[in-house]
Amino acid sequence: MMIPSARRRFLNAALHGAAGLTLFGIAAAPATAKSRGPEIGATPLTDELTVFTGAGANVVALRGPDGLLLVDGGLEERSRDLLDVVFKQTGRKRVHTLFNTHWHPEQTGSNERLAGGDTRIIAHENTKLWLGYKTPVPWENRSYGPLPPKARPNATVYGSAKLTFGDEPVDYGYLLQAHTDGDIYVKFARRNVLVTGGAVSGDGWPVIDWGTGGWIGGMVDGLKTLIALADANTRIVPANGPVLTRADLEAQRDMYAAIFDRLGKLLRKGLAPDEVVAAAPAREFDAKWGNSDVFVTMAFKSLWGHFAPDA
């Protein structure tokens, strides 16, 4: 996910309404988690796969004979509007399977609304655990959860797994400590579409939620995993922003790897977070991605659990 409350301050690439339309019509998340945000938009990826925008994050729907498979569910305050549009656009009235790619509010906001039926909610085990607690969302100055037990994932994974939905093989797997400690990807193999969750952002610096196990080294490793799952024709749907390509992921991997290396050197010098921000280790990427101060702060703090200053 992006850092919604910081968007106006440092994201020149923010997208709003019609001006926010990008490749394949996909727009960014709303400016703040509390705002109503843009209208829910729908853009077909294939005959049975559609991307929905405007609910706080990209939501991918696969239509099948037993209803719908959704990857992520948007914010709770947009859930009703989102599901109304999803059902209308797809001609289905039931969500059979919902993936939570991680615990953040933009991904799990439809859990409670769908939990009253027989929806299977799939996530990493760590995501289920975080949803059982009142967890800080420091970039929004609030907490989230706990969700009621019925709204927490009822099918969890530790590594990788497969299922079949209609005629579509669906692969999903763990991205170890990427931007949280519970990130998963979902790949629709026949249609060559890869949904990355919050490990990839398409419209600005991502959150590195170091408080729930994310770290920049894991982001680099997660991108390596995703690149290995893609080819030149794979359509890659990030947590927010436009559909990406394998080349886009390779560029992000190289960028984060360079920043990771610089942050490690600054840590070993014993610098404090404000001193690291002043050193501007991501300066050359700011023109494209926006002011990096918040990202650098989070990325630097994410090293604390993995390195010692004198290592």
Provide the residue ranges of all domains of the chain, joining segments of one domain with +: 4-302
Of 47, 147, 32, 168, nearest to 100 by C-alpha is 147
Neighbours of 272 (CB within 10 A): 10
Category of 54 on φ-ψ map: left (φ > 0), alpha (ψ -120 to 50) or beta: left
**267: closest CA among 304, 296, 298?**
304
The second-level CATH assignment, the architecture, of 4-302 is 4-Layer Sandwich (3.60)
Reported pTM = 0.88
Tokens 């209803």 found at: 67
Q: Do you know the residue count of the chain?
A: 311
Closest CA to 219 of 204, 211, 229, 209: 209
Predicted confidence pLDDT, tens digits, the chain (311 residues): 555 433 333 333 332 333 333 333 333 333 333 345 689 999 999 999 999 999 999 999 999 999 999 999 999 999 999 999 999 999 999 999 999 999 999 999 999 999 978 999 999 999 999 999 999 998 888 999 999 999 999 999 999 999 999 999 999 999 999 999 999 999 999 999 999 999 999 999 999 999 999 999 999 999 999 999 999 999 999 999 999 999 999 999 999 999 999 999 999 999 999 999 999 999 999 999 999 999 999 999 999 999 865 54
